[in-house]
Structure 1
Amino acid sequence: MAELFGKDRTVITRHINNIFKEGELDKNSVSANFAHTASDRKVYDTLYYNLDVIISVGYRVKSKRGTQFRIWATNLLKQHLIKGYTINEKRLKEQNQKLLDLQSTIRILERTVETKKVDLEEAKGLLKVISDYTYALTILDEYDHQEVKMRDTSKKEAYLLNYEEAMNVIESMKNEFTTDLFGNGKDESFKSSLGAIYQTAFGEEVYPSIEEKAANLLYFIVKNHSFSDGNKIFI
């Protein structure tokens, strides 16, 4: 830090001591001793500080480098604040758009009911459209806020799908597409992905429900690029 801010080591030490003395940071939370082997082959305990201490010292030290640091840190903070506001504003607009879409769907259904006499089955179908649409919006909203919860998963034992059987299913589907890209494996990652969804920890399945297995298999396939480029559009 002395080199970083262009000040004597004693000045930096004084600032650090004041930071702890004034309660700005807790010493035990931001520092730790590590063994360090010096050039003389002797092992010494060296006190290391984390980034919080460096930032705090940077806002206290009086030097050209300290001023440059404060300008940089302030601009960076400003960018994060603006970016955060922009992201939140974007999410708000997206939520408003979802609400407008839902209102539009309901108006269409209202007009359908007004202009046509619907029977019980048709009425049930219309209600299901609204229910499914609002459910989808709820899931998307939970995903946006990282609050997706597991619900209504199947507890029955899942069918154990092996690699050979999965590849046979993929092979049988190739005729449904007009491209040679479909189902072309790049490596062994698809096989390992199938094994991963059946893994256990402490005697319990990591992905106990059918839905969790299916969701994570999809995730692994996309993440590992198990098939040649272009296959994601089929998923």
Structure 2
Amino acid sequence: MKIPHKTGNYFCHGFACSNDIQRKWALVIFIIVLAPFFRAQFVLAQDTIYFKNDTTIWTIGPKIGLMADSAVLLDNNDKIISGFIYKEQYLWTATRLIKFKAGSEIKFDDNGNVKSGILAEKITLKTTGAYVAFKSNSKIYFNETGKVTQGFLLRNTIFQNNGTSILFKAGTFIRFGIIGNVIKGTLAERKNLDCNDGKSHVFKPGDSIKFNDELLVIVQNKQ
């Protein structure tokens, strides 16, 4: 049962008011404030589908085995752009086939190439700068040409940034720029690095660092 609430000199039940003017204002408020919300919810429901059983279907790229009762996201043209795979599967990443882990959410670009997923095995892949080994059971991201932009290192790995060799830690997240430079990573060594405050600072193993566009380490009030 709805509990009446008082509005001005009149009582209303929800939007059902005892005064015509209040009813009109209630309708205006619904149209302006609430209707867009309900439309957005409806569109979202249209763009997400669920399969009752594990299902193998064509995407905009390859065939893919999708998990039962998991969300499958569609674009405005009803093409699948993401879904969860129910078994390990080789999928195309614009340059090569890569095996992805069962249960992984796979995202596709407009050409049907994989944009991201969870690796089923350790593998060496081309980044925007060099070939790098990435660990299994870790998420990885690709650009439109199939080069890795983000991932988790299989082993301690040296990268060149601004003419300086820097050792980054195995098992940690790393992100690359468009020219192959490291944007973000975790150190595996003690290192003195040039920073964006115009000074050099010493960083220790395990420190997570970020670089700006000039390939200087970003620091904030570092002592």
TM norm structure 1: 0.28
Which protein has the bigger helix share? Answer: 1
Q: Which has the higher contact order (CA 8 A, sep 6+)?
A: 1
Which protein has the bigger strand share? Answer: 2
- Which structure has the larger Rg over C-alpha atoms? 1
